[in-house]
Structure 1
Amino acid sequence: MSLLTTLKFLAKHPLSTDRKFQTICRFIGWQISSRLTPYPVIYPFTVKSKLIVQKGMSGATGNLYCGLHEFHDMAFLLHLLRSGDLFVDVGANVGGYTVLASGHVEADTIAIEPAPSTYAKLLANIRINDMGDRVHALNIALGSAAGVVNFTTSLDTTNHVVVGEEAADTVEINIDTLDNVLENHSPILLKIDVEGFETEVLRGAKHTLQNESLKAIIIELNGLSERYGVENRKNHEALLEYGFLPYTYDPFKKELCRCKTFGDFNTIYIRDISFVKDRLATADKVYLRNQVI
């Protein structure tokens, strides 16, 4: 993000509405401290979890500034999951969602992160939160078939599978299907953030998507699928065929609102709306930045 874009994001963030000055101060403080001491730092994430943050982690630092970087989706996870549930984090990055699921809620997680250097940071967050017995981490990519792919390594939260010629640092990694990974496992919640490779992940997840235990999916539909020759709408239509419908979530009111139109942004898809609404309504309160959701 550019400086102006970042400042606008911080000012409009739902957890910063009444605390813009404090949020901007955290941003400025981090910009200074990360340059003076450019080492990993352990920060409180929620009252039950911690997150390792270091210079260059655009997603993780968003949590430091605001409490929850992707507020609506992360809050949905916190309110939906319970101890003993299974959450699958496809494109886990350094583990923000994984830490919330297994560190705060104490659900079980299968976390999948392809980039080796990012995977190492994910493992560090698993260790610092003492979640090793609840998190199974895999250093692979997911797609429509097993094999080997090239994956970028220097783009932080936007690392992705490379198809054809691309001027970026890459590494060769193994790729498998979600159905193979989840054989004999039944997740309740699935998060997919794979920088445009969603179509291939969904193609390799037919049995997973048919499993009635899967109640909801958080998926990033930001138009990047076009780099792989797929219209973004195709992913939306594929999820509709499995019975999932798109919603937005208001964490303060614990209310879901059905999306009237399809858009290029993170979206929550729900199949069992009654189950999900009951979970949200009965969720424990979560304390963040001296606020309650």
Structure 2
Amino acid sequence: MTIQEGLGAGLKFNAAASNPEYGLGSNEQPVQEAFARYLHAGDVFYDVGANVGFFTVIGAKLVGSGGQVHAFEPVPENAAAVRHNCELNGMKQVTVWETAVSDRSGMGQLQLAQYSGGASLSVAAPPPDYKETVSVDLITLDEFLEEKKAAPPSLVKIDVEGAEINVLKGMVNLIEKHKPIIIFEIDDGEVAAFQKKKTICTDFLQNMGYTIELLPDSYPHAGWIVENYVALPA
């Protein structure tokens, strides 16, 4: 199908078994608006927890052929979907890495969910629709930057279902040297757990010199708290 509206309007996209709003283009409008503000032609974008690639292709459209996108997605079916959606649009500026991003390299345990975007590392609580646990490769963004000689990101999006602080701890050198803008999601079904995750991540980033902005709600909270933030370097 062709995305109907939003930043992805006109792009070809196969949402597979994921969120049908991807095809409409209406998914997470406040996050899309943040992308429009902070991601520009020629930039480098890291999509950590790419799912099936909705924000990957939007990021690739914004940075253009002169930019770069690195999409990190450990679920094989999702990573294949990201590649497919990029191929549908001829986006050669995108590289898909079938690995999870964390605070250490090696192997980790990924808790899969019935919903394709709900997988989480075992450092987080199991998803409510838990399906099974599989072993996946882990890498830190600091190691990725050094080992792959990759260009540093202008913008990093983190959507990793509870393992956000692990991603942040694994990119301390990147943050100190390159100061990317960071868009991250915090979610949980319990208020106390949500507040704890939010405080840990926002305190960490504020201690590294960032200011934190809460984005407007992307959708109603139907028994599950979801908030997206933009962290801006000083």
Tell whether the 8 Å contact from 1:78 to 1:100 is kept in structure 2 after alignment.
no
Report what 2:15 is aligned to.
53
Report what 2:203 is aligned to.
237
- Partners of 2:118 and 2:74 lie apart in 1 by 12
Matched to 1:169, the amino acid is: E
Q: CA deviation at 1:79?
A: 3.0
Q: CA deviation at 1:163?
A: 4.9
Report what 1:135 is aligned to.
94
- Partners of 1:265 and 1:62 lie apart in 2 by 18
Tell whether the 8 Å contact from 1:220 to 1:266 is kept in structure 2 after alignment.
yes
Matched to 1:267, the amino acid is: Y
Using a 3 Å threshold, how does the CA distance of structure 1 residues 164 and 182 change in structure 2: closer, same or farther?
Answer: closer
Q: CA deviation at 1:162?
A: 2.5
1:133-172 Cα deviation digits (max 9, x unpaired): x111100011111111121334311111125996632221
- Partners of 1:236 and 1:44 lie apart in 2 by 33
User: 1:182 is paired with a residue of what secondary structure?
Assistant: helix
- Partners of 1:164 and 1:73 lie apart in 2 by 23
1:237-274 Cα deviation digits (max 9, x unpaired): 00101111122468xxxxxxxxxxxx9611111115xx
Report what 2:3 is aligned to.
44
Tell whether the 8 Å contact from 1:195 to 1:224 is kept in structure 2 after alignment.
no
User: 1:52 is paired with a residue of what secondary structure?
Assistant: coil
Tell whether the 8 Å contact from 1:48 to 1:104 is kept in structure 2 after alignment.
no
Report what 1:188 is aligned to.
154
Matched to 2:232, the amino acid is: I
- Partners of 1:51 and 1:76 lie apart in 2 by 21
Q: CA deviation at 1:182?
A: 2.1
- Partners of 2:231 and 2:123 lie apart in 1 by 28
1:25-46 Cα deviation digits (max 9, x unpaired): xxxxxxxxxxxxxxxxx22353
Report what 2:220 is aligned to.
none
1:213-232 correspondence runs (5 A)? 213-214=179-180, 216-223=181-188, 231-232=197-198
Using a 3 Å threshold, how does the CA distance of structure 1 residues 103 and 237 change in structure 2: closer, same or farther?
Answer: same
1:12-51 correspondence runs (5 A)? 42-44=1-3, 46-51=8-13
TM-score (norm 1): 0.65
Tell whether the 8 Å contact from 2:211 to 2:232 is kept in structure 1 after alignment.
yes
- Partners of 2:53 and 2:30 lie apart in 1 by 17
Using a 3 Å threshold, how does the CA distance of structure 1 residues 173 and 108 change in structure 2: closer, same or farther?
Answer: same
Q: CA deviation at 1:98?
A: 0.9
Tell whether the 8 Å contact from 2:53 to 2:85 is kept in structure 1 after alignment.
yes
- Write 1 or 2 for the structure with the bigger share of helix: 1
The gaps in structure 2 that reach 5 residues or longer are: 217-224
Report what 1:123 is aligned to.
83
Using a 3 Å threshold, how does the CA distance of structure 1 residues 164 and 198 change in structure 2: closer, same or farther?
Answer: closer
TM-score (norm 2): 0.80
Tell whether the 8 Å contact from 1:244 to 1:271 is kept in structure 2 after alignment.
yes
Matched, 1:150 2:109: yes
Matched, 1:91 2:53: no
- Partners of 1:222 and 1:126 lie apart in 2 by 27
- Partners of 2:189 and 2:166 lie apart in 1 by 13
User: 2:201 is paired with a residue of what secondary structure?
Assistant: helix
Using a 3 Å threshold, how does the CA distance of structure 1 residues 223 and 182 change in structure 2: closer, same or farther?
Answer: farther
Report what 1:197 is aligned to.
163
Matched to 2:159, the amino acid is: D
| Sequence identity (%) | 26
- Partners of 1:224 and 1:211 lie apart in 2 by 35
Using a 3 Å threshold, how does the CA distance of structure 1 residues 144 and 224 change in structure 2: closer, same or farther?
Answer: farther
- Partners of 2:165 and 2:173 lie apart in 1 by 15
- Partners of 2:156 and 2:123 lie apart in 1 by 25
Report what 1:62 is aligned to.
21
CA RMSD of aligned residues (A): 2.6
Tell whether the 8 Å contact from 2:120 to 2:160 is kept in structure 1 after alignment.
yes
Using a 3 Å threshold, how does the CA distance of structure 1 residues 47 and 164 change in structure 2: closer, same or farther?
Answer: closer
